[in-house]
Structure 1
Amino acid sequence: MSPTEKKVTEIPNPFVPVKKKAPAKRKTATQKKKEQKNVIYWRIAIAGLLLILLSPFYYGYVLRSFSATWRWVLDIGQDTRYRTYKNFNVRIPAGFTVHGIDVSSYQGKINWQKVKAMNDDDVHVTFAFIKATEGVLSVDPYFQRNWREAPKAGIICGAYHYFLPQKSGVWQARFFLQTVKIEKGDLPMVVDVEQLYRTAPAKMREQLTSFINHIENKTGVKPIIYTNISFYQDYLQGYFDDYTLWIAHYYQPVLNISNKTNWQFWQHSDKARINGINQKVDFNIFRGDSTAFRKLLISQ
Structure 2
Amino acid sequence: MAKNTTRKPPIRRKSSKKKKSALLFRIVLITFLLFGFLYGSYHYRNAIRYYLSSKSDRIAKEDKFVKDRIIQILKSHKDLTFGFDVSQFQGNINWDEVNSAKNKFPLKFVIIRASAGSDKRDSRFSENWSQAKKYDFIRGAYHYYRPNENSIQQANNFIKVVSLHSGDLPPVLDIEKLPENQSIDSLKVGLKRWLNIVDSHYKVRPIIYTGEKYYNDFLKEEFKGYTFWIANYNFFVENINDDWLFWQFTQKAKINGIDEYVDVNIYNGTPKMLQYLTISN
Normalised TM-score (structure 2): 0.71
Q: Does 1:132 align with 2:114?
A: yes
Q: Which has the larger radius of gyration?
A: 1
More helix by share: 2
Q: 1:118 & 1:226 partners in 2: Cα distance?
A: 22
Match of 2:278 in 1: 297
Deviations 1:24-82 (A, max 9, x none): xxxxxxxxxxxxxxxxxxxxxxxxxxxxxxxxxxxxxxxxxx9xx8xx9xxxxxxxxxx
Deviations 1:265-290 (A, max 9, x none): 00011111000000010010000112
Query: Post-superposition shift, 1:189?
Result: 0.6
User: In structure 2, what residue type is equivalent to 1:99?
Assistant: F
Q: Does 1:202 align with 2:185?
A: yes
Match of 2:80 in 1: 97
Query: Post-superposition shift, 1:196?
Result: 1.1
Query: Post-superposition shift, 1:87?
Result: 10
Match of 1:144 in 2: 126
Superposed, 1:31-46 pairs within 5 Å as: none
User: In structure 1, what residue type is equivalent to 2:131?
Assistant: E
Q: 1:118 to 1:137 in 2, by over 3 A?
A: same
Q: Is the 8 A contact 1:99 1:126 kept in 2?
A: yes
Match of 1:158 in 2: 140
Q: Secondary structure at the match of 1:115?
A: coil
Deviations 1:226-272 (A, max 9, x none): 000011111112011111100001133124x5x3x3x2100011111
Q: Secondary structure at the match of 1:114?
A: coil
Q: 1:104 & 1:243 partners in 2: Cα distance?
A: 24
Q: Is the 8 A contact 1:90 1:269 kept in 2?
A: no
Q: Secondary structure at the match of 2:246?
A: strand
Number of aligned pairs? 216
**Of 231, 235, 238, the match for 1:253:** 238
Match of 2:28 in 1: none
Q: Does 1:272 align with 2:257?
A: no
Q: Secondary structure at the match of 1:282?
A: strand
Query: Post-superposition shift, 1:151?
Result: 1.3
**Of 201, 208, 215, the match for 1:232:** 215
Query: Post-superposition shift, 1:85?
Result: 10
Percentage of matched positions with identical amino acids: 36
Q: 1:224 & 1:118 partners in 2: Cα distance?
A: 24
Query: Post-superposition shift, 1:152?
Result: 0.6
Match of 1:183 in 2: 165
Match of 1:53 in 2: none
Task: Give every structure 1 segment of 4 or more consecutive aligned residues whose post-TM-superposition deviation is greater than 4 Å.
Answer: 84-90
Q: 1:222 & 1:234 partners in 2: Cα distance?
A: 22
Q: Is the 8 A contact 1:89 1:272 kept in 2?
A: yes
Q: Is the 8 A contact 1:98 1:290 kept in 2?
A: yes
Match of 1:7 in 2: none
Aligned-pair RMSD on alpha carbons?
2.5
Q: 1:268 & 1:174 partners in 2: Cα distance?
A: 30
Q: 1:87 & 1:106 partners in 2: Cα distance?
A: 24
Q: 1:87 & 1:201 partners in 2: Cα distance?
A: 38
Unaligned runs of 5+ in 2: 1-36, 44-64
Task: Using the TM superposition, name which of 217-226 and 92-101 deviates more.
Answer: 92-101
Q: Secondary structure at the match of 1:185?
A: coil
User: In structure 2, what residue type is equivalent to 1:253?
Assistant: E
